[in-house]
Amino acid sequence: MRVLIVDDEPLARARMAALLQECEDVEVVGSVGDGEAALGLLAEVQPDVLLLDINMPGLDGKALAARLASRARPQIVFCTAYEAHAVHAFELGAADYLLKPVRVERLRDALKRVRQRLDAHPREPAAWLHARVRGEPVRMALEEVICLLAEEKYVVAHRSGDQLLLDESLRQLEETYPDQLIRLHRNCLVPAHRLIGLKTLADGRVLARLAGTDFSPEVSRRNLPALRKLLRMS
């Protein structure tokens, strides 16, 4: 089982990593201090479960869990010092709710629940985009994409570290993946899980804040209401 630890306290992350060493069939694939960093890592490390604190700066645990509620992976196990959020946590579909300091026996129970859920929902096949590198066909996972930009006659897929030219148009991609891609403006699509917020500039323009990158594409007025609604829902 692939585990990503998300907690803004370094000592809490270290303690959780130590506890996980006492659990069977567990691999810690990352340890980060906030929800935004966790979102940026999902495509890269593909965790089966997030061990997730609630009170964190920026994108907190409940907001992150709401973003991921429709997914079978990763499962969510909240790890917090407060009992008050338990009801809301289970409304968000959390597999378990652990109170700090977490005991290893209780952690093993939570991971057992996660395994049962994962066994009931086998990993879905990855969605692939068809691209070209120096004229040769390749494919890339949609999960890796940061944004898709239409530039002249091409669509360019931006991911961490490189860019690839795609064979499909933005409209074709939007129609193929209506639940996974959202439109920012006529020349830009982004994966829905990447959108973490909006930023309004002094001149009135609105930029999208995306997980895993400092790039902030502009949002058109036409698409702004839908994006605000999406953020409120999550």
CA atoms within 13 A on the CB side of 228: 10
pLDDT at 144: 86
State yes or no: cis peptide before 101, omega within 30 of 0.
yes
The share of the chain scoring above pLDDT 90, in percent, equals 57
Nearest to 51 by CA among 3, 99, 109: 3
| pLDDT at 22 exceeding the cut of 70 | yes
Q: Enumerate the H helices of the chain as residue ranges.
A: 10-20, 35-45, 61-68, 86-91, 104-120, 170-176, 224-233
| Residue 121 confidence (pLDDT) | 78
User: Could you report the per-residue pLDDT of 159-198, keeping only the tens digit for each?
Assistant: 888 889 998 899 999 999 988 899 999 999 999 888 989 9
DSSP state of 122: P
**pLDDT tens digit string along 109-154?**
999 999 999 998 777 666 888 887 777 888 888 888 999 999 878 8
Mean pLDDT of 89-99: 91
Beta pairing class for 96-99 and 181-185:
unpaired
Domains defined for the chain, CATH in brackets: 2-120 (3.40.50.2300), 128-233 (2.40.50.1020)
Q: What is the mean pLDDT of residues 85-105?
A: 91
Whole-model pTM: value is 0.69
